[in-house]
């Protein structure tokens, strides 16, 4: 497919950290959507969601074409390949929760995180690139439905703008719950991608954690829970892209 590129951004224990990118457009001004997944190895639904996003972006759907024409998508489908290979649930090869080390990742101890952070900072410092969205995909072991975590800002207008995207998802994705979505700046979350990049990037950037349940989602007004299957994760999440 001509509009998709696979870039090897790093390697550890001979397992690559790959980056999928659409329409590199060297030298042109770019509006970028950066998506990461599987920083916690045991959260397998995040990979299914990420696969659904990639499948949609490479499809012939007219909305996918519009997205490719106007945005550059950069996707790191597996931030913790060593942890996945070893069968870990949350940590890396060396026992670190990578999603608590965004503030100061070590190239030795957290090489994949270090590489992705350096790439994002390079884009941030490039006057021709505007990083519009950062979305980190996770799976939740206790809550139902899909939902998001966002950031709180002192600027009320900026905070209100952060809430628009989750509201659009709630209106258009039957499995997404705005009531479960929350905005916070808890100290224990300070090292996460969503929190760190939300503080680093300018006020035109939107940073979120997208969570999808391990189990089920409940439709409005319907009592029975609908199980999340691999197919459901892959098919439902392209709605995420249609409102970026």
Residue 43 falls in the annotated catalytic set: no
The backbone region for 171, taken as left when phi is positive above 0, alpha when psi lies in -120 to 50, beta otherwise, is alpha
Query: Sign of torsion, CA 44 239 194 211?
Result: negative
Pairing of strands 182-184, 146-151: parallel
Return the C-alpha torsion angle 81, 76, 133, 176, nearest 10: -60
Determine contact, residues 31/73, Cβ cutoff 8 Å.
Answer: no
Given 11, 29, 156, 211, the catalytic residue? 211
Burial of 55 (0-12, 13-18, 19+ CB in 10 A): middle
Helix (H, G, I), strand (E, B) or coil at 209: strand
Residues 6+ apart with CB under 8 A from 210: 49, 135, 136, 137, 138, 146, 148, 240
- Which pair of structure tokens corresponds to residue 244? 């970026």
CA distance 62 to 77: 24
* Residues taking part in catalysis: 211
């Amino acid at each position: 497919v001509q509009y998709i590129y696979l870039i090897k951004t790093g390697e550890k224990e001979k397992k690559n950290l790959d980056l999928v990118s659409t329409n590199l457009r060297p030298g042109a001004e770019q509006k970028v959507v950066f998506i990461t997944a599987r920083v916690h190895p045991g959260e397998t639904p995040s990979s299914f969601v990420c696969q659904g996003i990639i499948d949609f972006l490479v499809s012939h759907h007219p909305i996918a074409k519009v997205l490719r024409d106007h945005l550059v998508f950069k996707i790191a489908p597996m931030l913790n390949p060593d942890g996945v290979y070893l069968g870990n649930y949350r940590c890396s090869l060396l026992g670190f929760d990578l999603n608590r080390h965004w503030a100061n990742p070590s190239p030795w101890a957290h090489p994949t995180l270090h590489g992705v952070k350096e790439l994002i900072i390079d884009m941030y410092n490039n006057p021709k690139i505007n990083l519009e969205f950062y979305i980190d995909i996770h799976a939740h072991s206790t809550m139902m439905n899909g939902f998001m975590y966002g950031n709180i800002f002192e600027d009320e207008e900026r905070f209100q703008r952060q809430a628009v995207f989750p509201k659009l998802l709630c209106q258009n994705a039957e499995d997404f719950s705005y009531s479960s979505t929350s905005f916070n700046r808890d100290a224990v979350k300070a090292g996460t991608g969503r929190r760190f990049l939300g503080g680093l990037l300018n006020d035109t950037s939107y940073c979120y954690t997208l969570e999808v349940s391990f189990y089920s989602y409940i439709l409005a007004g319907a009592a029975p829970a609908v199980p999340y299957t691999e197919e459901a994760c892959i098919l439902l999440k392209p709605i995420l892209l249609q409102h970026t």
